[in-house]
Each structure stands twice: as C-alpha cells, then as structure tokens.
Amino acid sequence: MRWFRKRASKNPFWAHNAWMESRMRDTAVSLPLFGLAGWSGLRMPGWWTFADEWQPETGSLRHGDPNDPTARTILVCTTLGDPIQAVRSLRFSRATAGMPTDRQGMAAARRLVLDDEPSGSTRITVAGRAIESRLWTYADSWQAYCRIDDCHSLVLDAYRFDPAEVALVRVHDFEACLADRRDWIRAYYE
C-alpha cells in the first residue's frame, strides 16, 4: 500500500494568505464592516486582530493604495475592544514609521501616543446616522473613533480626507475586498 503525502504549495506565501483569508472570511460575518459610500477604488481588508480561539476583535477595510504616498487613503476599523486602545495602536504605528527602533525613539513615541488628547470632535455619517466622534488631527491626516452600538466601535485612520466628506455604509461583499487585496499584492510583490 502506498501512502501519498500532501504536496506542499509551490509558494508558501499564497498558502498562508489563503489560510488568513479563510480566517477573515469566517469571522467577517460577526463584525459589521463599513466602507466609504460610493467608493469605486481599491478596497481591501486591512488591520485584523483576533482574541482567544480565533474570535474576531478588530476587522477593517482599507480604501486606497497604502503604497502610494500621494493617494487618499482611509482605514475603517470595526472593533469589539477598546476604541481608545485601537487609536493608540494606529498612532504608535504612525509615530514609529521610518524611525530607528532604538530604545529612546520607542520611548518617545510611546509618550507621544499616551500623552496626546483628542484635538476635538466631528460628526461621521454611519449608515445614514450622524454620530459624534472623537478626533485627532495632523497636517494631512486624522484619526477618529465613535461607538455605533453597545458592542461595536469604529476607528478611522485617514490621509488627505476631510472628516466632513466621510459617509460610511455597511459592506456586504467581502469577497470583492479579498480579490482586491490579492490583486494589490500581486501588483506590488510578484
């Protein structure tokens, strides 16, 4: 009797990507995902975090090309966790981008993230409702969060968008977002 071993994928990256997509697909039904109303450009899964036993904690859709420094981009995250912590994580990533990872630089970035208070508030339109949101503004970007119900919050990280022009709608076609992500990866990394 012959035993056949399952052949390894020719490209382990795409095998891992397919596995991650299946995790996102399985858990996307329990997180309401939102996107820009009328957006016709690139929309793909962005930041995705899981709690114990692969329960989704944060899922997001990224609009625009994050590799294009001139592009208008926005990351729309739905989280079950603390929205302030999600904003801090995004702000820490921004504060440390391109900086040396020495101890002093990381400590300075951490202090900046923890000490900075919101610069104000704005109203974000979510599924037709204007919701008050806490806002952090920078030269050409901003971050905001708002609670949309008892369990979910939205966290937004935007470049070259005005908060007043953001209107969010529920996104139901997650497969199209996964296809955009695969096309984007192929365009840049193959």
Per-residue pLDDT of 16-36, as tens digits, reads: 999 999 989 988 888 999 999
Distance CA 100, CA 182 (A): 30
- The answer to whether residues 123 and 132 touch, using CB atoms and an 8 Å cutoff, is yes
Q: pLDDT digits over 117-129, tens only? A: 788 999 999 999 9
Identify which has the larger pLDDT, 104 or 132.
Answer: 132
Beta strand 56-63 pairing with 141-147: unpaired
Sign of the alpha-carbon torsion through 126, 128, 132, 135: positive
Longest pairwise C-alpha distance within the chain: 72
